[in-house]
Amino acid sequence: MSRLMNWLVMDTSTDVVSLAVAHGAQVYNQTLPGAAQSSALLIPGCLQLLAQAGLRLQDLDGFVFGRGPGSFTGLRTACAVTQGFAFAVDKPVLPVDTLLAVAEQTRLDLQGALGTSPLSVLALLDARMNEMYMALYHWSPERGWQTVRPLQVGGQVPHDWRQDLPEDVVVAGNAAWVYPQRMPEGLRCHEAMPTANAMLSLTPALWGAGLAVPAEQAMPLYIRDKVAQTTAEREAAKAALGSGV
């Protein structure tokens, strides 16, 4: 890119609202309560952060949002607000996978210790319903982030994934603390979450790769369609996990 750009970034996929505004090289961040409060706080929070940065909506080059997986309500809220802002000023939007943001936040947190050494991250987020969202990524300074195992949801890290995990892989995300007994043994765990700051760090490469889309394509990534299990399904899942299936 020939110039520094201005972006508004939002993530509402977890129980917090994470916001960032980039005004050239200057970055402004804000964290607000999420979940049920995200729909009421998101727009005022965005406008307040833009004002702090001295920007108007029309000054932005585009809008970046966490598309999921994550909270169904949170994802729909982020998509709706992103679409509304983008339609209002006729600007593109950039969807970012939340598990990739977990991996990037891990890289940012460990950067001081790792420098430019390659990094593998097994990103795991609590999907509720006794399951986890998971993906495996590898980063190198030459190629950036590469997806080794794509997004999926399940109760356990698959056996074929476990066999292929590098010895120095970092397990990141809140599922490592919610389901500690399901984590592969002997691996480092890091409690990174999808943040607007991590998404902002990813934005130049994703934007440069042509992954920005028109406002009407700001859609959530759910991975699964169900939002709750029946009592029988919950009992069956517990029994399967207890038997090591």
Across the chain, the runs of DSSP E, i.e. the strands, are 6-11, 16-23, 26-33, 62-68, 93-97, 119-128, 131-140, 144-154, 170-172, 188-190
**Cβ distance 124 to 118 under 8 Å?**
no
Closest by CA position to 8, among listed 43, 40, 35: 43
Provide the whole-model pTM: 0.89
Write out pLDDT tens, residues 57-114: 999 999 999 999 999 999 999 999 999 999 999 999 999 999 999 999 999 999 999 8
Write out pLDDT tens, residues 214-225: 999 999 999 875
Domains of the chain: 6-97+195-217 (3.30.420.40), 99-190 (3.30.420.40)
